[in-house]
């Protein structure tokens, strides 16, 4: 995947929610659920990363009062297809994501893009997930497999994107996803 940023603020094609996941404690993997409730300004109800300020342990150590730009983690199911071709069997929720999608080029979205999930929920994209070595505890070699290089040799992080909840709502597998790009100029995602 490249650092492609769309040129207009038009609405992109639709996708689908494949799975939703949450866990009340800090763990790499999260069990799948029949639905999750997104809370505006907070994240996924009952998830360890829910909150206005940072909840990821490494970030809390650096600045516990920093805003939580990582309330909801999304991964595209197409990554699991790619990993399976490399012999790595990874299922939704295993890499800690809250929402697994299909049909949306998540890594190509710009900062500030809005994802409309289901009937009500809206997420605002804040940046890329920076994968960590804990992924090797899920599957040996997974950390390296979710990193790549683009045509120019720049590092590509494929382990999903992070977002904040703008509008509350329930999200479940099978829900439609509609992408709304922000007004330009559009900014490529960076790790948050």
- Mean pLDDT for back-to-back runs of 10 residues, the chain (192 residues): 48 82 95 98 97 88 93 98 97 98 97 97 97 93 95 95 98 98 95 95
CA pseudo-torsion sign 143, 138, 82, 121: negative
pLDDT averaged over the chain? 93
Residue 20 lies in a domain: yes
CB 158 within 8 A of CB 107: yes
Quick check: is 168 in a domain?
yes
Buried b (16+ CB within 10 A) or exposed e, 90-106: bebbbbbbbbbbebbbb
Q: What is the DSSP letter of 109?
A: P
Range of the structural domain that residue 154 is part of: 15-180
Q: What is the pLDDT of residue 135?
A: 95
Rounded to whole angstroms, the Cα distance separating 13 from 135 reads 30
Tens of pLDDT, residue by residue over 129-150, are 999 899 999 999 999 999 999 9
Residue 185 lies in a domain: no
Q: Give the H or E element holding residue 99.
A: strand 99-102
- Locate 8 and state its tokens: 């207009």
The predicted structure's pLDDT at residue 61: 87
Residue 125 lies in a domain: yes
- Strands 99-102 and 161-167, how do they pair? unpaired
User: How many domains is the chain partitioned into structurally?
Assistant: 1
CB 17 within 8 A of CB 174: yes
Q: Domain holding 66: CATH number?
A: 2.40.33.20
pLDDT of residue 116: 98
Place of tokens 């866990």: 23
65 in a structural domain? yes
Q: What pLDDT is recorded for position 44?
A: 98
User: pLDDT at position 11, please?
Assistant: 46
Residue 191 belongs to some domain of the structure: no
Give residue 3's pLDDT.
52
CA–CA gap between residue 191 and residue 157 (Å, rounded): 8
In a domain, 91, yes or no: yes
**pTM above 0.85?**
yes
Q: Is residue 188 part of a domain?
A: no
What is the structure's pLDDT at 14? 83
């Amino acid at each position: 995947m490249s650092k492609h940023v769309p040129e207009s603020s038009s609405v992109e094609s639709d996708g689908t929610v494949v799975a939703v996941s949450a866990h009340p404690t800090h763990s790499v993997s999260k069990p799948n659920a029949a639905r999750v409730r997104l809370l505006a300004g907070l994240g996924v109800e009952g998830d360890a990363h829910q909150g206005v300020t940072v909840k990821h342990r490494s970030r809390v150590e650096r600045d516990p009062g920093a805003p939580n730009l990582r309330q909801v983690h999304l991964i595209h199911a197409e990554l699991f297809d790619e990993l399976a071709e490399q012999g790595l069997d990874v299922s939704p929720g295993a890499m800690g994501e809250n929402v697994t999608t299909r049909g949306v080029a998540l890594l190509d979205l710009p900062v500030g893009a809005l994802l409309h999930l289901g009937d009500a929920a809206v997420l605002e994209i804040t940046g890329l997930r920076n994968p960590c070595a804990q992924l090797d505890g899920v599957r040996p070699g997974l950390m390296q497999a979710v990193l790549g290089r683009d045509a120019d040799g720049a590092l590509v992080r494929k382990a999903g994107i992070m977002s904040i909840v703008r509008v509350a709502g329930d999200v479940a597998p099978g829900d439609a996803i509609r992408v709304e790009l922000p007004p330009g100029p559009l900014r490529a995602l960076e790790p948050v």
